[in-house]
């Protein structure tokens, strides 16, 4: 079953990549792949669940499972005792299947739900701002229609916004903004793809800019000032290098979309500015909320959505609802791209099965044994994050290595707090996902919102993204590796 799961993942991934030739929505392929992998995992649970390995490497998970069984009142039915748990012996087929179908699946579902609720909240807030014409405040300030100038403005804006918000939220905001600036879809695909590159690059040097940097920051492998200081330049090069290459060959102007002359009657200028400021403030408040309350980011995003919802309800409650129906959040929700959310659910569920079954851990151990050099290992992790979600890859790397004391010497010095291994891992895992459109949360969001074709991205953008990724990695190596 171990090999069968790999084959099914590859087939599912191929179906997602060939969405347009097959004329099958990628969400359907992702959902089928995710469920099929968990079915195979359950069928082969007896051979795939390694109780001894769990005892040796993650005793905390084993103890957590035992407490879960006790809380559910299943210890007698499953025949699980504290002595069995602390011995590292096989707990038996019933306990093994219960571990997969209840403990592991629900654990991953909780993590996936955090991402999905975050995504839903962010997309809805952006759609509320859009329906109130809040982005018109920004688009009216951007007068240029020159292709390269506009590309530089949007990329740099995305790069710094991503560090303050995060790459996923920033991408959703900027792609919504693109729809007000560029009329034809092929050009918008191109700009949206470059926004993904800039968003991932911007998220890599900020402790709150990407899920993986948040993971490293929360666990203490990196701290705020050093990661900003040391990773900013490589991340900036990752964004700038593709832009420089494009500037040498790209010319011409972009076509602005036609403006509906009657659209301004739905909101006043003051309302547009107010809703834009409120929406951006709600998004910016998410990392502050997490720092203050230590609750997960999706709670802050849902709080922001609740504030936006209440505000708009009060704002429009005394008005005659006719042409203003689209301003109500109940109508805005119908415009949220549900297939994108379901695609997220499918692909993250599929990757979670590979993580639980041990595929990713095996890969990490192989890299450590076969290569050994931390720079090459991290570069490969970054390349793999274009195919497999970077969160489990980083989680696997974090599980393999421990923080060493500040006075460590030799190779162990790489693993101190803010050591080169952790910083370079943040860079590689954060920016490597740009190489493929489904390699990052930002890419998946842009793909869903603009229906970007996987093969088109592979042909037009992947080489640019790879060039920027390698360029930034070289810069970091020149700064610290020598």
Four-CA torsion 175, 180, 184, 189, nearest 10 degrees: -10
**In a domain? residue 204:** yes
Find residue 234's DSSP bridge partners. none
Q: List all residues 6 or more positions away from 36 whose beta carbon is below 8 Å from its beta carbon.
A: 8, 12
Q: Tokens standing for 4?
A: 């069968």
Q: Tokens standing for 118?
A: 């975050």
Give tens-digit pLDDT for 90-129: 777 888 888 888 888 888 888 888 878 887 888 888 888 8
Cα 431 from Cα 468, distance rounded (Å): 9
Buried-state track 300-311, b at ≥16 Cβ within 10 A, e below 16 = bbbbbbebbbeb
Residue 150 vs residues 74, 188, 468: alpha-carbon distances, Å: 61, 12, 19
Closest CA to 4 of 29, 348, 12: 12
Number of domains the chain is built from: 1
Cα 389 from Cα 412, distance rounded (Å): 27
Length of the chain: 482
Closest CA to 447 of 15, 16, 113: 16
Give tens-digit pLDDT for 139-175: 778 888 888 888 999 999 999 988 877 788 788 888 8
134: containing domain? 113-338
**In a domain? residue 166:** yes
Q: Is-contact 353 38, C-beta < 8 A?
A: yes
Number of CB atoms found within 10 A of residue 268's CB: 12
Q: Tokens standing for 280?
A: 């951006």
Half-sphere exposure in the Cβ direction for 466 (13 Å, CA): 12
Residue 421 vs residues 2, 8, 26, 359: alpha-carbon distances, Å: 30, 33, 35, 22
Find residue 253's DSSP bridge partners. 146
Taking each helix axis as running N to C, give the angle between helix 359-370 and helix 338-357, from 0 to 180 degrees, rounded to the nearest 10.
60
Spell out the per-residue pLDDT of the chain, length 482, in tens.
889 999 998 898 888 878 778 888 888 988 999 999 999 999 988 888 877 777 766 677 777 887 788 888 887 787 777 777 777 677 778 888 888 888 888 888 888 888 788 878 888 888 888 788 787 777 778 888 888 888 999 999 999 988 877 788 788 888 888 888 888 888 899 999 999 999 999 989 988 788 778 778 766 788 888 889 999 999 999 999 999 998 887 777 888 877 654 444 567 888 888 988 998 898 888 878 887 888 888 898 899 999 999 988 888 776 644 556 667 787 888 777 788 788 878 888 888 888 888 887 777 777 777 777 888 888 988 898 888 767 667 766 766 676 777 766 666 777 887 888 889 999 998 899 899 888 887 888 888 888 888 889 999 999 999 999 999 999 999 998 76
User: What's the sign of the alpha-carbon dihedral 326, 327, 331, 332?
Assistant: positive
Residue 445 vs residues 58, 149, 325, 341: alpha-carbon distances, Å: 33, 25, 26, 9
Q: Phi and psi for 439 in degrees, rounded to 5? A: -85, -5
- What SS3 class is residue 253? strand
Cα 198 from Cα 219, distance rounded (Å): 26
Share of the chain above pLDDT 70, in %: 91
How would DSSP label each residue in 109-146?
HHHHHHHHHHHHHHHHHHHHHHHTTTTHHHHTT----B
Q: Is 209 exposed, middle or buried (0-12, 13-18, 19+ CB in 10 A)?
A: buried
Q: Cα angle vertex 161, ends 208, 119, to 5°?
A: 65
Closest CA to 339 of 24, 4, 1: 24
Cα 197 from Cα 207, distance rounded (Å): 18
Chain centroid to Cα 394, Å, comes to 12
**In a domain? residue 322:** yes
Find residue 371's DSSP bridge partners. none
Q: Tokens standing for 364?
A: 């990490």
Helices (H) and strands (E) in the chain, counts: 27, 0
DSSP state of 184: S
Long-range contact pairs involving 223-230 (C-beta distance under 8 Å, separation at least 24): 223/417, 223/418, 226/418, 226/423, 227/418, 227/423, 227/426, 230/418, 230/423, 230/476, 230/479, 230/480
Long-range contact pairs involving 248-254 (C-beta distance under 8 Å, separation at least 24): 250/147, 250/148, 250/151, 251/147, 251/148, 252/147, 253/145, 253/146, 253/147, 254/145, 254/146, 254/147, 254/150, 254/181, 254/182, 254/183, 254/187
Q: Phi and psi for 146 in degrees, rounded to 5? A: -70, 130
**In a domain? residue 194:** yes
Find residue 146's DSSP bridge partners. 253
Q: Phi and psi for 161 in degrees, rounded to 5? A: -65, -40
Q: Cα angle vertex 357, ends 114, 355, to 5°?
A: 35
Q: Tokens standing for 124?
A: 């809805």
């Amino acid at each position: 079953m171990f090999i069968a799961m790999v084959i099914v993942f590859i087939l599912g991934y191929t179906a997602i990549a060939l969405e347009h030739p097959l004329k099958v929505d990628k969400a359907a392929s992702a959902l089928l792949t995710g469920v099929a992998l968990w079915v195979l995992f359950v069928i082969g649970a007896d051979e795939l669940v390694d109780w001894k390995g769990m005892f040796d490497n993650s005793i905390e998970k084993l103890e957590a499972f035992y407490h879960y069984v006790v809380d559910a009142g299943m210890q007698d039915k499953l025949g699980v005792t504290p002595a069995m748990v602390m011995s590292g012996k096989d707990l038996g087929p019933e306990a093994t299947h219960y571990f997969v179908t209840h403990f592991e699946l629900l654990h991953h579902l909780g993590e996936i739900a955090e991402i999905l609720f975050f995504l839903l909240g962010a997309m809805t807030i952006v759609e509320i701002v859009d329906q109130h014409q809040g982005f018109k405040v920004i688009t009216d300030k951007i007068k240029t229609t020159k292709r390269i100038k506009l590309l530089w403005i949007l990329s740099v804006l995305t790069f710094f916004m991503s560090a303050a918000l995060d790459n996923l939220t920033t991408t959703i905001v900027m792609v919504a903004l693109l729809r007000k600036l560029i009329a034809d879809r092929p050009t918008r695909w191109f700009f949206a793809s470059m926004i993904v590159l800039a968003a991932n690059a911007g998220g890599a040097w900020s402790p709150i800019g990407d899920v993986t940097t948040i993971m490293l920051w929360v666990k203490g492998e990196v701290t705020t000032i050093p990661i900003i200081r040391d990773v900013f330049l490589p991340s900036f090069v990752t964004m700038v290098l593709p832009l420089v290459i494009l500037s040498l060959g790209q010319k011409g102007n972009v076509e602005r979309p036609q403006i509906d002359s009657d659209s301004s009657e739905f909101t006043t200028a003051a309302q547009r500015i107010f809703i834009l400021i409120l929406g951006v403030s709600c998004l910016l408040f998410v990392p502050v909320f997490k720092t203050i309350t230590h609750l997960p980011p999706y709670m802050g995003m849902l709080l922001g959505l609740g504030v936006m919802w209440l505000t708009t309800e009060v704002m429009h409650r005394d008005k005659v609802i006719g042409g203003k129906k689209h301003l109500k959040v109940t109508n805005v929700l119908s415009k949220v791209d549900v297939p994108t959310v379901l695609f997220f659910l499918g692909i993250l569920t599929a990757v979670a099965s590979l993580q639980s079954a041990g595929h990713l851990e095996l890969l990490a151990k192989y890299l450590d044994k076969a290569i050994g050099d931390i720079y090459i290992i991290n570069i490969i992790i970054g390349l793999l994050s274009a195919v497999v979600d970077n969160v489990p890859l980083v989680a696997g790397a974090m599980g393999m290595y421990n923080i060493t004391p500040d006075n460590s010497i030799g190779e162990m010095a790489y693993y101190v707090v803010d050591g080169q291994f952790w910083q370079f891992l943040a860079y590689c895992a954060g920016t490597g996902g740009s190489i493929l459109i489904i390699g990052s949360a930002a890419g998946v969001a842009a793909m869903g919102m603009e229906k970007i074709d996987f093969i088109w991205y592979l042909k037009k953008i992947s080489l640019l993204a790879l060039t920027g990724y390698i360029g930034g990695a070289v810069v970091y190596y020149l700064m610290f590796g020598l």
